[in-house]
Chain A
Amino acid sequence: MKQNDKHVDLTSIDRQSKAFFAGGEFHWKKSEADVWANMEAQIVEKPKGRLLAINFGITKLMVAASIVILFSLGSFLRFYSVTIESPAGQHLVAMLPDQSKVNLNAQSSISYNPYWWKMNRKVKLEGEAFFEVQKGKKFTVVSEKGITQILGTSFNIFAREEIYKVTCITGTVKVRSLLGYEAIIKPNSKAEINRNGEIKVSTNIETFPEISWRKNIFLFTATPVHAVFTEIERQYGVKIDTNIKDESLYTGNFNKDQNVEDILEYVCPALGLQYVRKSMGEYLIIKKDE
């Protein structure tokens, strides 16, 4: 009976509420058109690029992000470089990732991309170095004045200031100047790039003077005086002022086992010069009769 009461009550409230709500009306203070007008001011048709980016959705954004990360990682591996530099007064031996060996003369540096090495064996050189290259893919040495390509060989490159010369000891070496001249040299040959970017090849040369620096022996054959003193500066890490305008050439040799003053003592008289020690590691070269 009670259950029935409840049922009756619910039915009546159902009917009553239906009657109460039916036929009612909404009286909005703002009409739909008002709201649209308000909104229209806020919506601007967006440029296509923006739309595309947003339509990508999260998955595509993640893909894009991954690509960016991979690309950055790739660039890092590609462009990350190592530089090895030997200061004045020191020689260094550098090992490249494939066990190719580089003997760096004083005041010389090489740089390369260790993580890109397998793809491209490429070394940038400033100064002078002797290379012993492991057999394998093309090996390239780039300097300001020229490019040298090797398959697997040993050779010396001198690339300082205006001078670029390559001496081949074993194997085959290709030298290219920045102007596009090319020369292929065999052992006991030397290729030199001159001021015009042309390559001069000398065959059947005595290679020892070119690579004697590795044995700490310095040979000069008709070398301009200033170049001799520059080499001494480089090898001993000292400073030598030459305020002489001497164009004469020097032929002779010295051994790095001797100290710098012994060398100057030895070189100067032959040129009619003498040296004055200004301070530790600093010398002045003057004419002997002054």
Chain B
Amino acid sequence: MKKEEFKTLFNTYFEDVRRYILYRSGNEEMANDIAQDTFLRIWEKQLMIDPKTEKGLLFKIAGDLFVSQYRRDQVAFNFFNTFQPGNKSTTPEDELNFQELKKAYEKALESMPEKQRTVFLMNRIDELKYKEIADQLELSVKAIEKRMSQALEHLKTQLKDKISSLILFLIRFRLDRTKIEK
């Protein structure tokens, strides 16, 4: 593999890989390190990559690295340090609600099983369809559906006492938000 080809591969997939590890770990540094290691590994082994499966392969390598790294050191989960939800609050009260909600989500995501969290965030943030997630993680659509509903179930229990403020707050949102596809 030539350096130019490698750079193209990097530019095409780096962000995807790093986001994927962020979803799994909730830790920006780890996401950076693992994404970089994933590409370095491809370069060092000079793997011949089939363009059809390259994304799946990169995700696989990154996932394996994550599993082996994750076992070594437990890192802090602070997803919202990296990801900032759109904040439409206009009043101090809204702002307060928003911050509270964010905290609640952070907690809920941290306690959510990693597999559910990954699928959930890929769907919510990357706005990927179940089929696309299934292809990327080499899982069945059924498995994705199951993880999604488990994730929602989890959120429901975790955010139970926040539900009312959530609804109040989000009511403003919903009005100016176009329908988001599943």
* Residues in chain A within 8 A of chain B (CB atoms): 9-10, 12-30, 32, 35-36, 38-39, 42-43, 45-46, 51, 54-55
Question: Which of B62-70, B136-144, B170-178 interfaces with chain A?
Answer: B170-178
- B152→A28 contact, CB < 8 A: no
Q: Does chain A have a CB within 8 A of B124?
A: yes
In the complex, A46 Cα to B174 Cα: how many Å? 55
A13 and B155 contacting across the interface, CB-CB below 8 Å: yes
Residue in contact with B180 in the complex, picked from A22, A28, A43, CB distance below 8 Å: A22
Question: Which residue in chain A gives the minimum CB-CB distance to B151?
Answer: A17
| A201 CA / B9 CA spacing, docked (Å) | 81
CB–CB B11/A55 < 8 A: no
CB distance from B75 to the nearest CB of A (A): 15
Size category of the B interface is 35 or more
Alpha-carbon separation in the docked complex, A253 to B35 (Å): 94
Task: Give 8 nearest A-B pairs by CB, closest first.
Answer: A23-B86, A21-B124, A24-B85, A19-B173, A18-B180, A13-B156, A16-B170, A19-B170
| Contact indicator B48/A55 (Cβ below 8 Å) | yes
Question: Is there an interface contact between B152 and A14, defined as CB atoms closer than 8 Å?
Answer: yes
Q: Is chain B's binding surface mostly helix, strand, loop or mixed?
A: helix
A10-B156, A24-B83, A51-B46 known; A32 and B124 CB under 8 Å?
Answer: no
Q: Can you list 25 A-B pairs with a CB-CB distance of less than 8 A?
A: A9-B163, A10-B152, A10-B156, A12-B167, A17-B120, A17-B152, A17-B155, A19-B170, A19-B174, A20-B101, A20-B124, A21-B125, A23-B86, A23-B177, A24-B84, A24-B85, A25-B84, A26-B19, A26-B83, A28-B28, A28-B82, A35-B14, A35-B36, A43-B6, A55-B46
Residues of A within 8 A of B82 (CB): 26-28
| Chain B positions within 8 Å of A16 at CB level | 166-167, 170
Question: In B112-146, which residues have CB < 8 Å from any A CB?
Answer: 120-121, 124-125, 127
Asked if A21 and B85 sit within 8 Å, CB to CB, the answer is yes
CB atoms of B86 and A36 under 8 A apart: no
